[in-house]
Amino acid sequence: MTATPFAVRRATEADIPLMRRLWDEFSAEAHYTPYPPGPFDPVLVRDHVALLAEDGGEVVGTLYANLSTPHFGYVFGVYTVPGARGRGVGRALMQAIARHLTEEGREYVVLSVDTPNQGAREFYARLGFEDASRMLRARVDRLLGD
């Protein structure tokens, strides 16, 4: 299957309601933690790189990147709407952020993916990501003892 070329652009203040809706859809679908996902905050668009992918004027995917460190961009919130999956939306978003990071002089893109999210883990492996660290969690009452 040939990937459809998608227009990827930076989200603006006017996109905040749409980005909130897509963040909520993403959070409802890709929720693997025993605690609720973080809510959308407009700062995600204002203070980070927030990208959206469009297909014929319809938004089909999102990506956010935190550029607060000089050597890498931390990518999060990568989401493709269900009807557009398997058509290259995620790849287009990741390539767009890679170009942006290169322009900013950053050498790496870093992200986290929940262990049970096998589809996302396979997608990132196909793009060349390597398992470089582990995020661990524990209940605080367990740390405090029995």
pLDDT tens sequence across 27-79: 998 888 888 889 999 999 999 999 999 999 999 999 999 999 999 999 999 99
- Alpha-carbon distance of 106 to 135, in angstroms, equals 23
**Which domains are seen in the chain, by residue range?**
7-143 (3.40.630.30)
Q: In this structure, what DSSP letter does residue 81 have?
A: -
Element (H, E) at 91: helix 89-103
Give the pLDDT of residue 4: 55
The rounded distance, in Å, linking the Cα atoms of 5 and 82 is 17
**Residue 1 banded pLDDT, cuts 50, 70, 90:** very low
With a CB cutoff of 8 Å and minimum separation 6, the contacts of 114 are 30, 32, 33, 120
User: In which residue are the tokens 């893109």 written?
Assistant: 109
Q: What is the pLDDT of residues 70-120, one digit of tens each?
A: 999 999 999 999 999 999 999 999 999 999 999 999 999 999 998 899 999
The pLDDT value recorded for residue 107 is: 95
Which letter does DSSP use for residue 85 in this model? T
Q: Residue 49: beta bridge partners?
A: 65
pLDDT recorded at residue 34:
83
Whether the CB-CB separation of 91 and 3 falls below 8 Å is answered with: yes
Asked whether the predicted pLDDT for residue 146 surpasses 70, the reply is no
